[in-house]
Homo-oligomer: A and B are copies of this chain.
Amino acid sequence: MATIRDVAKRAGVSVATVSRALNDKGYVHEDTRKLIHDAIQQLNYRPNEVARSLYNKKSRLIGLLLPDIRNPFFPELARGVEDEIQAHDFRLMIGNADEKPEKESEYVHTFKQNHVTGIISATSNKDISFYDELSFPVVFLDRTTDQHPSVYADGVDGGKMAVRELVRRGSKRITLLRGPVELKTAQDRFKGAIDEICTLNVEFNVMNTSSFAFEDAEESARELFERYPDTDGIIASNDIVAAAILHEALRTGKGIPEDLQIIGFDDIPLSKLLYPSLSTIRQPAYEMGREAAGLLIKMIQGKAVEQKNIKLPVTFIERQTTRKDGNNG
């Protein structure tokens, strides 16, 4: 690996001049600049980012912390972050907290020790003290905090929307799956749904689901039909849970959507591939990722940020687990 010294020697100038040319800081004569440029080409030189960040105490690295890389919603989020970041010539470093606070804290440490210039955190941990004493900006993604910059989807509206669509299509006894209590986004959806249910004055019941993960989804589904066999409309806490419920419903011979309508949340890629394909409240994951990255980069660049809490709209994606509008059962 060539160093800045090699370039300087080859170009017949000092390292200081090369550095200035490299960073477009201070004066460099046009001819000198050309000399340096050629030397860089010949040696295929790339500055050592570690040395750079030792001095600058920051790099062009951005850290992204995901709560669970196995939930398809998050890779989608990551793709958005990645594209926006790359467009601004930053680099991404992804960490997977695996829903464990220790891992989260470890990653934040790794990020810090590698002098990342900012962090985007999509974890679901309530305790955000990890982030408080950091010397660089942090954006929270898929999460609502008033104290910190954040990007999230309108869960409350999503919950309401799900209820409205279900009721409009004829469901009379709705079952609400309440996602993890510690998860604010899940609770927003839940609250929105409850709210709308009260407004519309529909019969309903609630079931608690412990997590969003695949393993737990099956269990919840089974339990649901035991407890509420006569429900005719289910709002799942996310698409994975919805898929499990759909599976269980079909297994026990229910007609979907004639006997039972199901609405998920997220619109992960698999939802379309289910049969019948899953109607769901779509979160614009990719866009959320891009927004978060855009916000962070603005903060890094010291630009004034007008809107620090960005709420993105959700949309109802009509597929086959809900009936046609007007066809009220």
Chain B nearest CB from A237 CB (Å) reads 15
A interface, CB within 8 angstroms of B = 46, 48-51, 53-54, 59, 61, 69-70, 72, 75-76, 78-79, 82, 86, 91-96, 98, 103, 106-107, 109-110, 113-115, 214, 217-218, 240, 243-244, 246-247, 250-251, 269-270, 272-275, 277
Contact A114 B69 (CB under 8 A): no
Contact B78 A243 (CB under 8 A): no
Complex Cα distance, B109 from A18, in Å, reads 21
Number of copies: 2
Closest partner residue, chain B, to A92 (CB atom): B95
Contact A273 B218 (CB under 8 A): yes
| In-complex Cβ contact of A94 among B79, B94, B250 (8 A) | B94
Chain B nearest CB from A153 CB (Å) reads 19
Known: A69-B78, A70-B75. A114 touches B270 (CB 8 A): no
Complex Cα distance, B111 from A46, in Å, reads 13
Chain B nearest CB from A256 CB (Å) reads 10
| In-complex Cβ contact of A75 among B49, B69, B79, B115 (8 A) | B69
| In-complex Cβ contact of A273 among B50, B70, B214, B272 (8 A) | B214
Cβ–Cβ < 8 Å partners of A272 in chain B: 214, 218
Chain B nearest CB from A244 CB (Å) reads 6
Contact A114 B78 (CB under 8 A): no
Chain B nearest CB from A292 CB (Å) reads 16
Cβ–Cβ < 8 Å partners of A103 in chain B: 86
Complex Cα distance, B60 from A109, in Å, reads 13
Cβ–Cβ < 8 Å partners of A109 in chain B: 46
Cβ–Cβ < 8 Å partners of A78 in chain B: 69, 96
Contact B79 A70 (CB under 8 A): yes
- In the complex, 25 of the A-B residue pairs with CB atoms within 8 angstroms, ordered by the A residue number, are A46-B109, A49-B113, A50-B54, A54-B54, A61-B114, A69-B69, A69-B78, A72-B72, A75-B96, A78-B96, A86-B103, A91-B106, A91-B107, A93-B93, A93-B110, A94-B94, A94-B95, A94-B96, A214-B273, A218-B272, A243-B274, A247-B277, A250-B275, A251-B275, A274-B275
